Amino acid sequence: MFPRPITQMSVPAQTLYKIAVPVALLLWLLPLLGVAMTSVRPASDLAQGNYFGLPSALAFENYAQVFQNTPMLQYMLNSFYVTIPTVIGALALSCMTGFALAVYRFPSNLIVFFMFVAGNFVPFQILMVPVRDLTLNLGMYNTWYGLALFHIAFQTGFCTLFMRNFIKALPFELIEAARVEGVSEWRIFWFIVIPLMRPAIAALSVLVFTFIWNDFFWATVLTTSAATQPVTAGLSSLNGQWIAQWHLVSAGSILAALPPVLMFFLMQRHFIAGLTLGAVK
Amino acid sequence: MPATGKLNQRKLAPWLFLAPGLLMFMIYVIIPIFQSMWISFYDWDGLGEARWIGTANYVELVDDDAFYTSLKNNVIWLLLYMLAVPAGLMIAIFLNQTITGMRLYKSLFFFPFVISQVVVGLMFSWFYAPNFGLFYSLIEWLTGSGVAILADDRYVTYGIIAAGLWPQIAYVMILYLTGLNNVAPDQVEAARLDGAKGWRMLWYVILPQLRPATFIAVVVTLLGALRSFDLVSIMTAGGPFGSSRVLSYYMFEQALSEYGYRMGYGAAIAVVLFAIMMIFISGFIWKMWRDETER
């Protein structure tokens, strides 16, 4: 193990370490803690210059105010409308593409695979004008499904990379044996491979959920009104209206951050498994 | 079913499985890349008739100061963003212990990556806010006069990069924590018996084993640096006076904001950004291709 386990060190060193970790964490999360604290600070505190001290009272009304006076609830709902179909769509498509690329040998296999991989790396800006135009022409501009369709397509690239590598690591004998038994390719996919892919599906669902929930660029490009904007774009436009009302900005920020944070804590193991794919050989 | 039928099925099957995903990916990702290249030769407002102007957009770009500012900032982003790799490694090494509650500490350290960049940008704007921001107050306390980071064209890009580094370091950290978890213990013990420790141990024994993690960390950090859009947009909208623009933001500004709908010019900027990114992309692809075909 590297570095040397702290338990092999002297007692004072161990104590020092046990103090150092929470202190470091506190410093590391300072911007977050500051905003969390500001989000429950009464507006009067800010007016009196109490920016860092403890709030004079816990002002949960900041949150109430955000919900009552702004379309925050609508923004959050919109985010769910975009995110959930994207997760389902991208996973459905990439289970199939990943299966095709992992199980079959055909001449253009690697080329198709690397096209998915490379497409996944391109800057969004090179897609912006044509995708916006396409969405306009399809009559889906400024709708949640117009945004979700693009996300499904784009995320399929990343998910294919993940799924293909995952299926490739499964025991191929299973598929061989089924083929000898005369099981059709579709049934092999559905009854043999899909059940084995559960960990990959779980990992990708949380990852894609977080990516899409946090997407700002496409939300700005493809949606324009409060009725359809996801929370990231909504928060950005609210920020323009709430000049210097930091208690509201903070409450809005915390609300926007909450769903992916909850997702992360509930599905932590899967999340990290997905993110660190390929980090170990 | 006769054997040939089975074989045909096996020939056709991959394409049937690929069809929906490939079709979507073609329509929304691959074809638009070429369309953008095509549009970059036009003068187009996105609505009316597009007019072919050849390389005029690119010629304009060569004399555009804002373009050079963006390009310069992109280089600064790339260079400074790479700090996330050693910083993430250091935090990972610091945290790679087993004391009570370590799992929770690790996930809390990872927290910034889970949060949207829009929220990160707002947090740092608050942190830097003149007169009362924590950072501003700290500088004021140290030097006697505060600095409004986001309103000063000398510091603004660095201020935004610092905000971007926060989640990026968290990401790299988690990659290295996973990597460290899988370092072969027998090799470490053997090296320890040979008297290796500290930096030498890290450099000669640990880092070579962390190579896959380092590769991914470098890839995601490069991509993150070149994709920086959210933070610039939220924290400064390219200001003050366009001094914090990066190519991704400048493209958006030209093509789709109150400054005008110059789709052709925007596309030309995007093509330049794409070309820069292609240098790196082809590097990764080449490495991955080699790994694949060697197997």
Write the CATH number for B236. 1.10.3720.10
Q: How confident is the model at residue A114 (pLDDT cuts 50, 70, 90)?
A: very high
Nearest to B165 by CA among B97, B203, B220: B220
Q: Residue A50: is its pLDDT beyond 90?
A: no
Residue whose tokens read 């559960």: A198
Q: Give the pLDDT score at A279.
A: 67
Enumerate residues 6+ apart whose C-beta is below 8 A from A145.
A85
Same domain, A197 and A127: yes
Mean pLDDT along residues A81-104: 96
| In a domain? residue A1 | no
Interface of B with A in 86-125 (CB under 8 A): 93-99, 102, 105, 107-112, 114-120, 122-124
pLDDT score of B2 more than 70: no
Whichever domain contains A194, its CATH number is: 1.10.3720.10
Q: Looking at the domain assignment, is residue A280 inside a domain?
A: no
Q: Is the pLDDT of residue B3 over 60?
A: no
The pLDDT tens digits of the residues spanning B256-293 come to 877 678 999 999 999 999 999 999 989 988 988 898 88
Q: Which pLDDT belongs to residue B1? A: 46
Closest residue in A to B162 (Cα) is A31
Q: Is the confidence at residue B10, as pLDDT, over 90?
A: no
* Range A194-197, long-range pairs (CB < 8 A, 24+ positions): A194/A95, A196/A170, A197/A95, A197/A163, A197/A166, A197/A167
Whole-number pLDDT of residue A280: 67
A139 and A49 co-located in one domain: no
Average pLDDT rounded to a whole number, residues A46-59: 77
Q: Is the model's pLDDT at B220 over the cut of 80?
A: yes
HSE-CB of A98 using CA atoms within 13 angstroms: 29
Instruction: Please count the structural domains in chain B.
Output: 1
Sign of the torsion formed by the C-alpha atoms of B72, B76, B81 and B86: positive
**Average pLDDT for chain A:** 91
pLDDT in tens, A144-170: 999 999 999 999 999 999 999 999 988
CB pair distance less than 8 Å for A17 and B99 = yes
Whole-number pLDDT of residue B5: 66
Most confident of A7-11, B157-161, B177-181, B237-241: B157-161
Total number of domains in chain A: 2
Which of the four pLDDT bands, split at 50, 70 and 90, describes residue B6? Answer: low
Is the pLDDT at B197 greater than 90? The verdict is no
Kindly determine whether residue B183 and residue A101, on different chains, have CB atoms separated by under 8 Å: no
Q: Per the domain annotation, does B5 fall within a domain?
A: no
- Note whether A21 and A129 are same-domain residues: no
Q: List CB contacts (< 8 A) between A269 and chain B.
A: none
Residue B18 is nearest to which of A110, A112, A235, comparing CB atoms? A112
Residue A281 within any structural domain of the chain: no
Band of residue A177 on the pLDDT scale cut at 50, 70, 90:
very high
Q: Do A58 and A75 share a domain, yes or no?
A: no
**DSSP 3-state of A122:** coil
Percent of chain B with pLDDT over 90: 61
pLDDT digits (tens, 9 = 90+) for B35-84: 999 999 999 988 888 899 989 999 999 999 999 999 999 999 999 999 99
- Pick B174's closest partner by Cβ from A5, A18, A275: A275
Which chain B residue shows the shortest CA-CA distance from A116?
A: B25
Provide the pLDDT for residue A26. Answer: 94
Least confident of A154-158, A246-250, B75-79, B119-123: A246-250
> Residue A156: which domain range?
70-275
Residue A47 has a pLDDT of: 74
Check B229 against A126: CB less than 8 A apart.
Answer: no
Are the C-beta atoms of residues A216 and A230 closer than 8 Å to each other?
no
Mutation target among A121, A186, A197 for the B interface, most CBs of B within 10 A: A121
Interface contacts A/B by beta carbons within 8 Å: 302
Nearest CB among A24, A133, A232 relative to B118 is that of A232
**Are residues A58 and A82 both part of a single domain?**
no
- Bridge partners (DSSP) of residue B42 are B52
Locate the chain B residue with the closest alpha carbon to A274: B175
Average pLDDT of every residue of chain B:
90
Using a CB-CB cut-off of 8 Å, the residues of chain B touching A4 are 192, 197
Question: How far apart (Å, rounded) are the C-alpha atoms in residues B16 and A100?
Answer: 8
Residues A26 and A95 in one domain: no
- Examine the pLDDT at A49 and tell me if it is beyond 80: no
pLDDT digits (tens, 9 = 90+) for A116-150: 999 989 999 999 999 999 999 999 999 999 999 99
Selected residue with higher pLDDT from B169 and A242: B169
Q: Is the ipTM of this complex over 0.90?
A: yes
Residues 242-271 of A with CB under 8 A from B: 246, 249-250, 253, 256-257, 260-261, 263-265, 268
Contact B252, B115 (CB under 8 A): no
Q: What is the largest CA-CA distance in chain A?
A: 79
Whether the CB-CB separation of B20 and A96 falls below 8 Å is answered with: yes
* Residue A121 sits in the same domain as residue A233: yes
Q: How much is the pLDDT for B295?
A: 63
Arithmetic mean of pLDDT, A241-269: 89
Q: What percent of chain A has pLDDT over 90?
A: 65
> How large is the average pLDDT for residues B223-232?
93
Return the closest-CA partner of residue B269 out of B257, B251, B255: B251
Q: Containing domain of residue B205, as a range?
A: 51-294
B274 touches chain A (CB under 8 A): yes
Average the pLDDT over B108-131 and give the result: 91
